[in-house]
Structure 1
């Protein structure tokens, strides 16, 4: 990420945000205003969308100029169609498309799942759990502050139950439990390692192998905890990383079928309704890229109630 940081002093004191950015970066004001509009400007650590706000002495202004090799002003791709799985006065559940981040990134607004749901509702919605960018599947939002708080408690207190499905490399046993703590891998930034050799956070995953072949496996995953990269790291520890997961060594192709992204899908979620307390059972159809591996294996995707053991905090 490329950024420019300015300290408000001297001639910058009292200037508007857009005027300060324009003068310090040598930009025309319309261009500086675009940076403010897309959320690439931060004042005192908070995103500033008010181009006319006046700066005070000592404030720090940060401008994100490039993120992931791309300018925040680059034209965004068309927003994907949002599939709503369930909606009432308190809750909206959607099928997150692969490739869409759960939340806005630092240098850009728009295009995240939070933005897409907010645009549909015409107001902000409360995200209570997150999926990785490449992971698809069920994601639930609260439509009120009370609903968001109650839904978050379902995850935090381990009452929410989740079922994932994935295509992996070969070699998985028929079933089992992975009880390996997770810690950041110091030798590979962005990766987590599943090992008892480090002081990691507890993580527990049940799995049931639905198909085991010489080229790939298809597996049902039931996390008891909801740690960052938990399923990806646990499957790597079993010697069968998720296909398409380049960060963890997953193959880009297996059994003659391509895996263009990390083939992990949050297929089902069960949790208490925030107002009635009744169990909501939400399911997202397996996407086409992962479904090709189910078809090659000659098996059906799981459906119906989640087996015991599928609770998770996130």
Structure 2
């Protein structure tokens, strides 16, 4: 990330944010205003969306000029169409497209799932859980503060039940449980490792293999915990990383079919409704890129209530 930071002192005190940015960065006023508009300017650690807000003495201004190799002023891709799976007065559940971040990144406002849902509602949406950028599927939001708090408690206290589906490398047993803690991999930034050799956080995943072939597997995943990269790291620990998951060594192709992204999909979610307490189950159709692997081997996508994996079948132990 490329950024520029300066402090409001001397002639900058009392000036509008956009004017101060233009002066310090030596850029045209129109460019400075655009940096504010896209959410690339922070004042005292908070994103500033008001180009005319006046700076006070000592305030620190940070401008994100480039993120992930892309200029903050680059044109954002067209926003995807939001698919609403369920909506009532308290809850909205949507199908997050692959490639969309859960919430705005540091250098840009707009284009995240939070932005898309907020635009649909005409007000801010209450985000209670997140999917990785490349993961697709069910994501729920609260429409009121009370509903958001109740939904967040469902996840925090382990009552929310989740079913994912994925295409992976070969070699998975018919079913099992992965009970390996997760910790950041010091040798590979941005990646987590599933191992007992480090002081990691507990993570538990049940799985049911729907197809096991020589080139790839199709698998149903039932995580009991919701750790960062949990499913990706657990499958890698089993020697069958998710297809298309370059960060974890997933193959880019299997069975003659390309995997252009990490082929992981949050297919179903069950949790208590914040008002009625009744179980709310929401399912998201499997996207075409992953569905091709199901179709290639004639396997049906799991539907209906989330069924527990048969007890007593444990996956291979820690491989590290």
TM-score range, shorter chain: over 0.9
User: Match for residue 140 of structure 1?
Assistant: 140
Is the counterpart of residue 273 in structure 1 residue 293 in structure 2?
A: no
Q: Matches of 1:229 and 1:5 in 2, distance apart?
A: 32
TM superposition score normalised by structure 2: 0.96
Choose 128-137 or 45-54, whichever is displaced more: 45-54
Q: Matches of 2:84 and 2:53 in 1, distance apart?
A: 38
User: Match for residue 53 of structure 1?
Assistant: 53
Is the counterpart of residue 82 in structure 1 residue 82 in structure 2?
A: yes
Query: What does 1:237-248 align with in structure 2 at a 5 Å threshold?
Result: 237-248=237-248
Matched residue SS, 1:32:
helix
Mark the runs of 5 or more structure 1 residues left unpaired by the alignment. Answer: 310-314
Is the counterpart of residue 229 in structure 1 residue 255 in structure 2?
A: no
Is the counterpart of residue 250 in structure 1 residue 253 in structure 2?
A: no
User: Match for residue 312 of structure 1?
Assistant: none
Choose 300-309 or 17-26, whichever is displaced more: 300-309
User: Match for residue 167 of structure 2?
Assistant: 167
User: Match for residue 149 of structure 1?
Assistant: 149
C-alpha offsets along residues 206-260 of structure 1, whole Å, 9 cap, x if unaligned?
0000000000000000000000000000000000000000000000000111100
Structure 1: 4+ residue segments shifted above 3 A: none
Q: Matches of 1:158 and 1:173 in 2, distance apart?
A: 26
Q: Matches of 1:14 and 1:179 in 2, distance apart?
A: 57
Q: Matches of 1:270 and 1:215 in 2, distance apart?
A: 32
Cα-Cα RMSD? 0.7
User: Match for residue 302 of structure 1?
Assistant: 302
Q: Matches of 1:167 and 1:123 in 2, distance apart?
A: 37
Q: Matches of 1:87 and 1:175 in 2, distance apart?
A: 34
Q: Matches of 2:26 and 2:103 in 1, distance apart?
A: 31
Compute the displacement of 1:308 (Å): 2.7
Matched residue SS, 2:296:
helix
User: Match for residue 179 of structure 2?
Assistant: 179
Q: Matches of 1:137 and 1:286 in 2, distance apart?
A: 8
C-alpha offsets along residues 245-280 of structure 1, whole Å, 9 cap, x if unaligned?
000000000011110000000000000100011110
Query: What does 1:192-231 align with in structure 2 at a 5 Å threshold?
Result: 192-231=192-231
Matched residue SS, 1:77:
coil
TM superposition score normalised by structure 1: 0.97
Mark the runs of 5 or more structure 2 residues left unpaired by the alignment. Answer: 310-320
Choose 46-55 or 138-147, whichever is displaced more: 46-55
Q: Matches of 2:54 and 2:98 in 1, distance apart?
A: 40
Compute the displacement of 1:136 (Å): 0.3
